[in-house]
Amino acid sequence: MIIRGTTPPIRFTFSNVNPLEMTAAFLTIRQGNVMIEKDLPAASSVTDTVIEWLLTQEETLALEAGRLAQVQCRYKFESGAVGASRIYDENVYAVLKEGEI
């Protein structure tokens, strides 16, 4: 769930790979022509099972309420192996007070 104008965490939990062994990871959120991308150094938290990114108010305000946003994580290991999560559909919700606070 993404609410416009907030800073929600986007969290991916892995059961078959260790995020601490990844050399690269990218979060991509797409809604129409809006594309939000974050790389591994931008992650707010990385453990042996989870990568978490925080969206900014500016990023969530770029999304349109009432429409789905697609979310995916792609990653790479030193061996050259590359993986990806499935694409998730996230609801985007309105906020009554527009703009950043």
> What CATH number is given to the structural domain containing 14?
2.60.40.10
Instruction: Say what the pTM is.
Output: 0.94
Domain span at residue 47 reads 2-93
pLDDT digits (tens, 9 = 90+) for 16-70: 999 999 999 999 999 999 999 999 999 999 999 999 999 999 999 999 999 999 9
Q: Is residue 100 part of a domain?
A: no
Q: How confident is the model at residue 12 (pLDDT cuts 50, 70, 90)?
A: very high
Is 30 part of any domain?
Answer: yes
Does residue 41 form part of some domain? yes
Domain count, the chain: 1
Tell me, yes or no, whether 98 lies in a domain.
no
Closest CA to 12 of 69, 54, 50: 50
Asked if residue 77 is part of any domain, the answer here is: yes
Place of tokens 């590359």: 82
Specify if 19 maps to a domain. yes
